[in-house]
Structure 1
Amino acid sequence: MVQPLPHVREIPPYVPGRPPEARPGLTTYKLSSNENPYPPLPGVLGTATQAAEAMNRYPDMGCTALYDALSTKLDVSTDRLAAATGSVALIYHLLAAYCGPGDEVVHAWRSFEAYPIAITAAGATGVQVPVTADGRHDLAAMAAAVTERTRVVLLCTPNNPTGPALSHAETAGFVAGVRDDVLVVVDEAYLEFVRMADPVDGLALLRDHPNVVLLRTFSKAYGLAGLRVGYAVAAADVASALRAVALPFGVSSIAQAAAVASLAHEVELLARVDALVGERDRLVAGITAAGWTVPEPQGNFVWFDLGDAAADFAARAADAGLAVRPFAGEGVRVSVGEPEATDRLVEMLEKEPPPA
């Protein structure tokens, strides 16, 4: 029997957030995938609908309009951009382009679930560095984990699923201490939700360090999760490598059109982000008032460090009409959603004591 390569059998499965189960007489809410709960803006939806009329044609493989719009927004040349089907695809592309058997990839853990999957798929070895007790990257330990075999370091800020974000000062200090032949990936999928002193300025890092790669997405703040479009900003040679290994015609015409339209409607879109940040603050206040604690959230989600109680917590949330994302034996991530969902979760927390 024909067999796949040995490392393929070792790839862990990706577990998506599940939709809520129907509850008679109860409105249910999906808080398991960190999605933007708002529908597309009319201008974005209209543009995407118009693009769908040409679905019999291949998309622009060069993503010309998208690269031009991003070049203007970010003040970078188009040769420093690479688009793909979400920023997660760019992680796969980058590891495929720069890693192989014997190479190491350092990353925090718990962090984004796709990291070990993409690392294993590339045939590389993941080096997991535990996050701190409050869910933050332990940058000192990560720096110590870099060896002569390290090709890539992955920094997730804000960290999914635990929530805290890195500061610019600590990130710049970390990057300055890493060899220049190691790529430092700053995964900024939740960039627009950050509200903290000294947030990471990814473009400034990239200007000072050509081994930095920025990953961003239209899935979260921009609400285009169903269309799958993300982008990398990197040195021109790195961006070229990412484009070289990408699946041809990967980003659909509809996704490209919607992304460009989203940039044109950015003021309205980011006003929705501000509303979600306000809802996040209200949720954290309710959690705190109920006697529970969560790490400082800087994305559109909160993290409950529950250990073996994670599954039971998720089951109780499901009974309340809330689909959340449990990580067995570790904790539960809950997305910031509609105000009614916030109220429902806080009511649930008020009825039970926090774990000792």
Structure 2
Amino acid sequence: MTSDQMLTAPHAARPVLRGAVSGLPSYVPGRRSAGVDIAALASNESHYEPLPAAAAAVAEAAGRMNRYPDMAAVELRERLAGHLGVTADEIGVGPGSVGVLQQIITGLCDAGDEVVFAWRSFEAYPILVELAGARAVRVPLDDTEGHDLDAMAAAVTSRTKVVLLCTPNNPTGVPIAHERIGAFLRSVRSDVLVVIDEAYVEYAEAGSGPDSLALYREYPNVCILRTFSKAYGLAGLRVGYAVAAPEIAEGLRRTAIPFGVTALAQKAAIASLDAAGEMQARVAAVGQERARMAARLAAQGWKLQPSQGNFLWIRAADGLRERLVAAFDQAAIMVRAYQGDGVRITVADPASNDRVLRVLETFTA
């Protein structure tokens, strides 16, 4: 067919996705439970029901869901500001911390710019970076399953706009010490935004990771990223936030999807802040179970790095990984497998955790 003929054949061509989109890896969510006897431990959700105050706030707000939410999330930002000791101008919110991270990358990165992060880490990182047309720079984890900050500093170039530090790291659970991040910040350019992703910070033992707010106050290029999805139990409502210099936070609000954080999510997040004591009691119970499981697994012969998240990580090459997943499937336990790397298991209620321990015991007995 000639070019002239193609011009007269309006149905011959088809819309084509951008090359960056066609080549994107798909984000793989944790597998979902389809039965009451299945232990759903593949997604790092809270196994507790929503905090009663949050559920009540959602029920009360549901009668007004015919109205748009506050696009600026003023009340939520003001409450977060008071909770953290910053100003509302330093807060940006979005649909989960991953939504806020997309706002960060959209706001800072042009095509060809670079974003540096550890790998393996949160699977959405390379997807969001490449979707923005930027270049994902993966730096392998060190021998302790944590961030190799020296290698990450060495990976920063003149095109680097953002560095992502996930602490505790997902999926390995290893935190980054405060002093190490401080040294890293002193070694990188001040025009590189360093995002401290603390989605699991509530589960971390005091002193195991950074005092991110202190680092933020000392280094203007620090951005703190947090979520209500994990410890607060609002994974289904999608609300997260960032703390950043006012000009950066304003950019995050500009790049946000209009009305992206629903009124129900905003009200539930505010109520959850008011119920922080109850949330902390739940977190303490998860920490006790995490410690119990780690001790049992160590006694069984498993060599695991201490986790500070609501999950445990087993490094396993593909052969062992496949056998582990098959054994968990047979026991009606859903875990998260990472090809070539290992298996992540969410810490849940004691009965589910005991089922996990019984499966893993068969590999070391």
Q: Which amino acid aligns with 2:199?
A: A
Paired residues, what number? Answer: 351
**Counterpart in the other structure of 1:167:** 177
Instruction: Specify the code of the residue in structure 2 equivalent to 1:289.
Output: A
Structure 1 equivalent of residue 329 of structure 2: 318
Matched, 1:115 2:128: no
User: What residue number does 2:6 align with?
Assistant: none
Residue 223 (structure 1) aligns with: 233
Asked if residue 16 in structure 1 is aligned to residue 26 in structure 2, the reply is: no
**What is the letter of the counterpart of residue 277 of structure 2?**
V
User: 1:209-261: per-residue Cα shift (whole Å, max 9, x none)?
Assistant: 11111000000010000000000000000001111010000000100000000
Aligned to 1:240: 250
Letter in 2 for 1:314: V
Residues 325 and 333, structure 1, Cα contact 8 Å, conserved in 2: yes
1:188 CA drift (Å):
0.3
Answering whether residue 143 of structure 2 is matched by residue 133 of structure 1, we say: yes
Secondary structure of the residue aligned to 1:223 is coil
C-alpha separation between the residues in 2 aligned to 1:317 and 1:198?
31
Q: Which residue identity lines up with residue 107 of structure 1 in the other structure? A: F
TM-score (structure 2 length as normaliser): 0.94
Deviations 1:329-350 (CA, angstroms, capped at 9, x unpaired)? 2111000111111111111111
Alignment of 1:74-89 (within 5 A): 74-89=84-99
Query: Do the aligned residues in 1 keep the contact of 2:175 with 2:208 (CA within 8 Å)?
Result: no
Residue 21 of structure 1, CA deviation: 5.0
The 3 A distance-change label for structure 1 pair 318 and 198 is: closer
CA contact (8 A) 1:21 1:323 kept: no
In the other structure, the counterpart of 2:16 is: 3
Match 2:271 to one of 246, 261, 273: 261
Structure 2 segments unaligned to the other structure (5+ residues): 1-13
* Residue from 162, 167, 182 that aligns with 1:152: 162
d(CA) in 1 for partners of 2:130, 2:105 = 10
Partner in structure 2 of residue 341 of structure 1: 352
Q: Is the 8 A contact 1:304 1:332 kept in 2?
A: yes
| Equivalent residues of 1:21, 1:318 under 8 A apart | no
Moved more, 213-222 or 1-10: 1-10
Q: CA deviation at 1:177?
A: 1.1
Secondary structure of the residue aligned to 1:136 is coil
Contact 2:94/2:261, CA 8 A, preserved across alignment: yes
Identity %: 48
The corresponding residue for 1:211 is 221
Q: Which amino acid aligns with 2:343?
A: V
Letter in 1 for 2:141: V
CA RMSD for the aligned pairs? 1.2
Q: 1:276 aligns with which of 282, 286, 298?
A: 286
Structure 1's unaligned 5+ residue stretches are none
Structure 2: which amino acid aligns with 1:222? Y
Structure 2: how far apart are the matches of 1:20 and 1:313?
Answer: 18
Supply the distance in 1 between the matched residues of 2:29 and 2:238 (Cα, whole angstroms). Answer: 15
- Paired with 2:111 and 2:53, the residues of 1 have a C-alpha distance of 47
What is the rounded CA distance, in whole Å, between the counterparts of 1:210 and 1:147 in structure 2? 20
Shift of 1:4: 2.3
- Take 1:263 and 1:196, find their aligned partners in 2: how far apart are those partners? 19
Of 312, 315, 330, which residue of structure 1 is paired with 2:341? 330
Which secondary structure state, in structure 2, belongs to the residue aligned with residue 285 of structure 1?
Answer: helix
- Decide which moves more: 2-11 or 27-36: 2-11
The 2-side partners of 1:32 and 1:133 are apart by 24
What's the secondary structure of 1:16's corresponding residue? Answer: coil
For residues 21-40 of structure 1, the aligned pairs below 5 Å read: 22=35, 27-40=37-50
- Structure-1 residue corresponding to 2:189: 179
Specify the SS of the correspondent of 2:86.
coil
1:294-335: CA deviations, max 9, x gaps? 121010011111111223211211211210000112111000
8 Å contact from structure 1 (residues 11, 121) kept in 2: yes
Following superposition, the deviation at residue 64 of structure 1 comes to 1.4
2:51 pairs with one of 29, 36, 41: 41
* Superposition misfits of 4+ residues, deviation over 2 angstroms: 196-199
* SS state at 2:150 partner: helix
CA apart distance, 1:293: 1.7
Q: Secondary structure at the match of 1:180?
A: coil
Which deviates the most, 305-314 or 68-77? 305-314
C-alpha distance in structure 1 between counterparts of 2:270 and 2:207, whole Å: 30
Is the contact between residue 20 and residue 321 of structure 1 (CA under 8 Å) also seen in structure 2?
no
Cα separation, 2, equivalents of 1:334 and 1:278: 15
Q: Which structure has the larger Rg over C-alpha atoms?
A: 2
* Conserved 8 A contact 1:20-1:318: no
Instruction: Report if aligned partners of 1:306, 1:331 keep a CA contact under 8 Å in 2.
Output: yes
